[in-house]
Structures are given as C-alpha cells and as structure tokens.
Amino acid sequence: MDELRVATELDTTQYIVIKIGEESYGINIAFVDNIVRMQHITRVPKVAPYLKGVINLRGIIVPVMSLRLKMGLEDDVITKATRIIILKLETQGTIGIIVDEVREVITLDSEHIEKVAQDSNKSSEHVNFVSAVGKTGDELVSLLDLNTVALENE
Amino acid sequence: MDVSQYLEIFLDETKEHLQNLNTQILELEQDSENMDTVNEIFRAAHSLKGMAGTMGYKRMQNLTHDMENVFSEVRNGNIKVQPNMIDILFQCLDALEGYLANIQESSDEGTDDNEPLIKALNDILNGNSGGDAPKKEDKTEAKEEAKEEKKEAASDSKEKWQSIKLTDTEKGLFEKAKEEGQHFYGITVYIQESCILKAARAFLVFKALEEKGEVVLSNPSTQDIEDEKFDFDFSVIVVTAESYDNVVAAIKSVSEIEDAFGRELTEADFGNSADAEAEDEPAKEESKPAEEAKKPETKELPAKAGDKKPAAKPVVNRTVRVDIEKLDVLMNLVSELIIAKNSLVSSTSGEDTHNSNFNEQIEYLESVTTNLHESVMKVRMVPIESVVSKFPRMIRDMQKTLGKKMELHMTGEETELDRTVVDEIGDPLMHLLRNAADHGLESGEVRVQRGKPEVGNIYLDAYQDGNNVVIEVRDDGNGIDVAKVRDKAISRGTITAEQAENMSDKEIVDLLFLPSFSTKEQVSEISGRGVGLDVVKSKIEALSGEVEVKTKLGEGSTWIVRLPLTLAIIQALMVIVGDEKYAISLGSIQTIEDISPSDIKLVQNKEVIQLRGTVIPIIRLSDVVDATSSKSPEDNMVVVIVKKGDRLAGLVVDELIGQQEIVIKSLGKYISKCKFISGATILGDGEVALILDANALI
C-alpha cells in the first residue's frame, strides 16, 4: 500500500466526493467498481451491526455495510440521494458501502493532499478511517483509507 | 521458441500421462504378459518424452527416454517384467512427478538428474544377460550380431542399404514386381545432424514413400525408427512404379533431410546376398531369428504407417480444456437468464391469458433455459475416477512400507461430482484409505491367527444416492476398539471418566474426529500424527458434506462420506421466517409436520416434540435468525424435520413457500462469521434469500 500511496502522491488522483451527514469524504476512484441506487438489502443474522446484509449485484452477492454505523454515527436514513458504492478491494474483495449522497468527482494533485498526523486529531471516533485531507477550492475533503474502513472489527 | 503459453497444457497432459502410467504399470505388475498394457505404457512414456523435449525440460526428457527404452525392450520381448523393475519404474514416476512439481512452481524442472534411477534403468537394459530369460537373450544377441555384421559390411559405402539382407520372400516380391513393371530401389536416407525430431522426419519420409509405392524392408526396423533408435541415417527397400529420381525427390522434399543415396536393385543383388548367406552357414543360423523377428514388423508396415498419426497423438477424447472460472461465468450468466425468465413469468401470470401466443413463447423460453441450465451443470460434472485412480498405486506402496499384504477394491469410479468437489475430495479420501491400511488392517500374522485371509481388503465404493454422492471406505480389519478410544480420551483429558460413562459407543467413536486424536500407540510414517481425521472432517464439511463411521470390533470399519452432487445448485424448500425468506436444502429434510403448541414438551429445559415414537428437539428459527415471528403462540406451528446423520431436529418456521431449484452463491469471505448460513441465492424477483445450513443448526 505504501508504494501505491507514493505513486498517487506524485501525480493526480481522482476522488469521488460523498457526503455523510454534513461532512464530505473522498474515495479513491481506483477502488470504485460501481455506484448503485439504494435497493433492498437482505439482512444476515448474527453479524456485526454495521454489516447491513447482502445485495444482488447482477448475479453476484455483495455484502453491504453502513459507513455511518462503522464510524459510530447514528443509523442511515434512506433518502432518494442514498447510494451504495461498490468497492473492489485487494484483500476484502467486493463490498458495498452506504453513503448519504454522491456529489462529484474531483481531481487532486499531491500538493493539495495533506497527510493526517495522528496527534493533531483529538476527539472524533472515525478519525482513523481518514488517511489524508484534500483541499479543493476552499473546501476540505477527508480522504478515506478504504482498507481500514473495510477492516472487520467487533 | 517461447513455450510458456503451453506450460499449462503441458502440466495438465503430463499429469494425465503420469496417472496413466501409474495405472498401467500397476496392471503390468499383475499381468506381466499383457502386451496391450505394455504398448499403452510405451505410448504414454513416448508422449511424455516428446512433450518434455518440446518444452525444453532436458532432465525429464532423459529420464523418460531411458524409461521408454526399457518399455521398448519389454515390448520386443527382450526383457521380462520383474518385480524390482516395477519398483524402479515407480520410482521413476515419482521422480517425474518431482520434476512436474518443480515446473509447476517455478516453471523450471530443477537440477536433480536422478542419475541413480537412470543408471538403474540402464542396468535393466543391459542386465538382461543376467540369465532370467536365456532364450530371448540369445535372440537379442544374435540380432545385435547380425546388425553389427551388416554395419561392418556397409561401413565403407554411403549406400548402407546394401547391407540389408534380402531373403527369398523379397526375391519373390522382386520378381513379381518386375513382371508388373515396378522397380525395386535400395535407398539410404541421411537426416541432418541438427534435426531434433528424427523419428518424425523418418516418418514423413516413410509417408512420402508410401504415397509412391511400398516400403518392403528397412534398416533399422520401422519400429526402431519410430522409437528414434537410429543415428542419422536409415535404409529402405522400396517397390514402386515411379522412377528413381522421383522417389529421391519425394524423400528430399521432406525438410531436414540431408541426402539420399541409392539405386535400382537388380537380380544380382538378390543372388549376391543369397550367396553370402550360403557361404556363412552359422551366421545365417544366427540371423534367422532376427529376420523372423523383423518380418512381421515389415508386413505390418502399411498399416503402421497409416496408424501412426493416432499413435503419435495418444487416443484423445473429443474434449476441450476449459478454465473452471470461465464455466463459473457461464454458470452465472445462465442463472441470470433463469432469474430474468422467472420474473418474466411472474409478471405475465397475473394478466389475463388472451395472448396465448405470448404464453407459448414464454413456455418455450422456459424449457430452453431449463435445458441450458442442465447442460451447463453437466459440463461441470467430472467422474471421481480422476481422483481415485491414484489410490491403487498408493496402497501398493504402503504395502511395502507397512509390510502388510492388502488389496484395494474400487467400484463406482464413474460416479460424477461437481468439479470443485472432485478437486477437493482427494486428500480426505487418501487420509481415510491410509487410516484403513495403517490402523484398520491387522498385520498378516494376526489376521491368520484370527482366521482371516492373510491379505487385507480395503474397499472404496462410490455411488449416487438421491442428491448426494456417497463414497465408502471399508476395510475388513480390526475395527475400532471403543474401549481403547475411551481410555485414551480419558487419559488425554478430552472427556472425564463420568462423561465417558454416559457416552454411547458411537459418541466415543466420534471422538476420533477431534483434533489431535490418534489411538495408534506407535506413530508411523503413514498416519498417526494426529492430524488425520479432524482434517478429513473439516474438509468434507467445507464441501457441505458429512462423514461418519460404522465399526465392529474384529470385523472392520466403514467410513461413509456423503457429498452433495453439486455445490452450485440444489433443490430447496423456501420458507418464511418473520418477514424474510430462507431456503433449506431439500436433501436434509425428512418430513414437514403441523404441530399444535400443546404437543411441545420440555426436557432439560429444551423444547421437544414426540413424533411417531421419537423425541425430537425443536429449534425456533425466528430465535436463531433474530427475527420476530409473525405467528401468535397459540397457532399451530409448521415444523420442518431435518436430519443430520442419525439425529433429527424440528425447525419451526412461519410459513412454507414451496420447493424450488436454487443456485447457490457464496456470501463471500467478508460475511463468513454466520455458521448456519451456508450461502445465498437470488430469487425470481432479484431479491437475495439466505440458505440455512440445517447441519450446523443441529
């Protein structure tokens, strides 16, 4: 992963900007397989609460998790804007995450990405999911570390 | 030449050939006179050599080459099959497998030359003067001498064909041909020294000659030429209506042919050779057998040449190798199609049926998709033969290491299973067989004492049973000593003495499946490292199968492995729990009962029902899956009775939907925590339903 990060820092990387609550997050487009509308999720019993269940993605069963629950926020409120982002990760395979809204695709070059130093973040629970902060215009976008996001924890 | 793209094919085919060789050599051990077997072995060894050579695996090629030489001598009747020879051949196969393993890992054959083996092979080749088959030996020597003589005679001439001895038969042919206006030519063909596939070139020459006329004689014999047992030249006598120049031109049209020398034969040639033979009485005597040996081969020639193509390419079924992943994709598409069809059916069923034509088309579509589905499923099925065919060899080897006499009897090798299952089932079966051989069967003396035949029997029977395939591994050995197992379990602290009191024999035997449990006092090389049966069990369970053991002390044990026919598709009962749909494999369902809540009794604080004299514990699925049952407690309950081995359980569901063929999909490793969910399936409306694993619930 380190090599990959080095590579992305050298040239520009595209991020999909999503919204969870009031905050904007960026997801590296390289890991995004698909974005689908909210659909019926089949609940799977006896799994961690943030795992909402599974969906049928054109014949493939894909587990879906709630980013909100994973980050320790309150449960998702499904609206017309709710989307499931299908990620393809190296270790965890295909997995869907529920987001409140998908806004845009931005291109960031390495100058505009700042690593998050662990100390400077004091309180919030979900800080470890963020690997860096990107600056686009005067807005700040927290860039998600997808492997940490998808990591199983109980 | 870049051959890497062929590596996979090479690996696959080499494995096949090795397996074939294993089987055939075993057969040869049983019946050393069977020429069909010898021929088959020879062919397999030859193909192996050719393939290894093409891929540039020199060491592998060398070893197979020497093996081939031995087989060739066996085939020619010059060497008799002996037990130690079989042993060496098996060692060679192991060495080849070693090469193969190396190649598979690093696409390099490694550096082991296996010189001792090559030497042993050569000893077999040369050692036939040892005196086991004196008659044949004489013949060989005579043949060799005869050949040497010929070589000497012709060494000063480029037209080596002159050394071919012509007999009266050829003379008769010659005279007849002359009457018919045909010509006899003697020709010696030289192949370029850089040529790699000499035999192939020679074959092409023969083929060219066959087109012009007929090859009467050749030196070396066609057989030897086919086996590449010649330097860079060979001589032929041809009878043809064509002119000499035409014939030579035909020969030279084959690439990598250096040159060809010869001329038309005259009567003088026949006279001379006859004289020469007359002069040298003893030589004639000696060369007679050689000639005789040669004759039938020569006669065979036209047929041989015609047959040669299929022989060079071993008899192959009309098959194509397909990557299993491609099949998975195809399977996925077919199930998608079925789902689409299902939703089409359900969307039209509600409407009025005015449009009969439309309905007809839908029905047609339905039958097509069903057939398509079945075909794709069948494509994935392979006979278990590919796995079990290596076992006779294994048992044979173990016979030697264990010093016990035993025989393996197999039936039902043609039973088919899904490819994914077949790939996985080999190791567990091997464990069970090893167990049977090592722990199960007694030593020869004990068997005789007990009045059993000295040779122990191990049976491997496979057969289809409904939606399952059953594989039984049976031995007529000692059986499992329950008392011994119990003592062992207590001494190991697996169970307490009090617990042991209350356990049935069967429960105690089942302890064997626990990790690190081996009753054999002495740990042997074959088994008994305590890693056997628990691995077998978990592996089989991973394949959604089950394993159980039946045993009778003194009479033997039977290990029964039950596997689903296919992992990809099952018949299932769809049920509703709460507001969710679940599928239960039909294979595990015994009956479905309507039970009044008043029939439920409490035993040890667990809910049970009595059904036709049997007490069955019940499991409320709504509790298991954390759903709220839609039924009130007073209502009658729908109970699905499921069976696992000998045990029954009743699953309480809210509603039944019906039987349905479902395509099993994996939930992926991300959601693997949930033990009683074995997978998911996609319903007609595109929704996902989970599959309950009744086995895990009991």
- The residue-averaged pLDDT of B422-445 equals 83
Measured between alpha carbons, how far is B118 from B167 in angstroms, rounded to an integer? Answer: 39
Residue B366 located in a structural domain:
yes
Binning pLDDT at 50, 70 and 90, where does residue B672 land? Answer: low
For residue B96, count other CB atoms closer than 10 A to its CB.
Answer: 25
Q: C-alpha distances in angstroms, A123 versus A26, A67, A119, A147, A149? A: 21, 18, 10, 22, 18
Q: Please check whether residues B300 and B216 belong to one and the same domain.
A: yes
* Nearest CB partner across the interface for A42, out of B624, B674, B688: B688
Measured between alpha carbons, how far is B97 from B93 in angstroms, rounded to an integer? Answer: 6
Binning pLDDT at 50, 70 and 90, where does residue B177 land? Answer: confident
> Is B673 within 8 Å of A63 when comparing Cβ atoms?
no
Confidence check: pLDDT of B198 > 90: no
Antiparallel, parallel or unpaired: β A139-144 and A23-28: parallel
Q: C-alpha distances in angstroms, B352 versus B348, B359, B365? A: 8, 11, 19
Residue B57 located in a structural domain:
yes
Which chain B residues touch A94 with a CB distance below 8 Å? Answer: 668
Residue-wise DSSP of A4-48: HHHHHHHS-EEEEEEEETTEEEEEEGGGEEEEEE----B--TTS-
Query: For residue range B590-620, what is the model confidence (pLDDT) as tens digits?
Result: 899 998 888 888 888 888 998 888 899 999 9
Tell whether the torsion through CA atoms of B319, B20, B398 and B68 is positive or negative: negative
- Nearest-CA neighbor of B548 among B465, B470, B435, B641? B470
pTM > 0.80: no
Provide the CATH number for the domain formed by A2-145 in this structure: 2.40.50.180
Q: Please check whether residues B403 and B547 belong to one and the same domain.
A: yes
Domain boundary among B380, B404, B428: B380
Q: Which of the residues of B are catalytic?
A: 46, 68, 435
Measured between alpha carbons, how far is A17 from A37 in angstroms, rounded to an integer? Answer: 16
Q: Please check whether residues B417 and B473 belong to one and the same domain.
A: yes
Confidence check: pLDDT of B14 > 80: yes
Query: For residue range B334-368, what is the model confidence (pLDDT) as tens digits?
Result: 877 877 777 777 676 655 556 677 778 888 887 88
Q: In chain A, what's the furthest Cα-to-Cα distance?
A: 45
- CATH number assigned to the domain comprising residue B611: 2.40.50.180
Which chain A residues touch B687 with a CB distance below 8 Å? Answer: 40, 42, 56
Q: Please check whether residues B72 and B110 belong to one and the same domain.
A: yes
* Nearest CB partner across the interface for B674, out of A44, A56, A93: A44
Measured between alpha carbons, how far is A64 from A86 in angstroms, rounded to an integer? Answer: 8
- CATH number assigned to the domain comprising residue B100: 1.20.120.160
Antiparallel, parallel or unpaired: β B556-564 and A83-89: unpaired
Q: Please check whether residues B348 and B389 belong to one and the same domain.
A: no
pLDDT score for B389: 83
Query: For residue range B145-169, what is the model confidence (pLDDT) as tens digits?
Result: 444 444 444 444 566 666 666 667 7
- The residue-averaged pLDDT of B461-478 equals 85
Q: Please check whether residues B545 and B575 belong to one and the same domain.
A: no
Nearest-Cα distance to chain B for A18, in Å, is 23
At CB < 8 A and 24+ separation, what contacts does B508-517 make? B508/B482, B509/B480, B509/B482, B509/B485, B509/B549, B509/B551, B510/B549, B511/B485, B512/B480, B512/B485, B512/B549, B513/B537, B513/B547, B517/B488, B517/B489, B517/B492
A131-140, B41-50, B175-184, B586-595: which has the highest mean pLDDT? B586-595
User: What's the mean per-residue pLDDT of chain A?
Assistant: 80
> Is A45 within 8 Å of B626 when comparing Cβ atoms?
yes
State the Cα angle at B658 between B654 and B663, rounded to 5°. 110
Binning pLDDT at 50, 70 and 90, where does residue B78 land? Answer: confident
pLDDT score for B4: 64
Confidence check: pLDDT of B132 > 70: no
pLDDT score for B17: 82
Q: Please check whether residues B276 and B329 belong to one and the same domain.
A: no
Residue B424 located in a structural domain:
yes
pLDDT score for A91: 76
- CATH number assigned to the domain comprising residue B558: 3.30.565.10
Q: What is the percentage of chain A residues whose pLDDT exceeds 90?
A: 18
User: What's the mean per-residue pLDDT of chain B?
Assistant: 75
- From the number of C-beta atoms within 10 Å of its C-beta (0-12, 13-18, 19+), residue B15 rates as middle
- The residue-averaged pLDDT of B253-275 equals 68
- Answer whether B415's CB lies under 8 Å from B469's CB: yes
Which chain B residues touch A51 with a CB distance below 8 Å? Answer: 670-671
Higher pLDDT, B44 or B651: B651
Q: What is the percentage of chain B residues whose pLDDT exceeds 90?
A: 6
> Is B668 within 8 Å of A94 when comparing Cβ atoms?
yes
The secondary element (H helix, E strand) that includes residue B318 is: none
Q: Please check whether residues B406 and B549 belong to one and the same domain.
A: yes
pLDDT score for A96: 92
> Is A42 within 8 Å of B625 when comparing Cβ atoms?
no
Question: Starting at the edge strand that comes first in sequence, how are the strands of the sheet with B637-644 ordered?
Answer: B589-595, B637-644, B647-653, B614-620, B606-611, B601-603
* Nearest CB partner across the interface for A45, out of B332, B625, B670: B625
Binning pLDDT at 50, 70 and 90, where does residue A16 land? Answer: very high
Domain boundary among B312, B346, B367: B312
Confidence check: pLDDT of B251 > 90: no
- CATH number assigned to the domain comprising residue B363: 1.10.287
> Is A54 within 8 Å of B680 when comparing Cβ atoms?
yes
Measured between alpha carbons, how far is A148 from A25 in angstroms, rounded to an integer? Answer: 14
Structural domain boundaries in chain A: 2-145
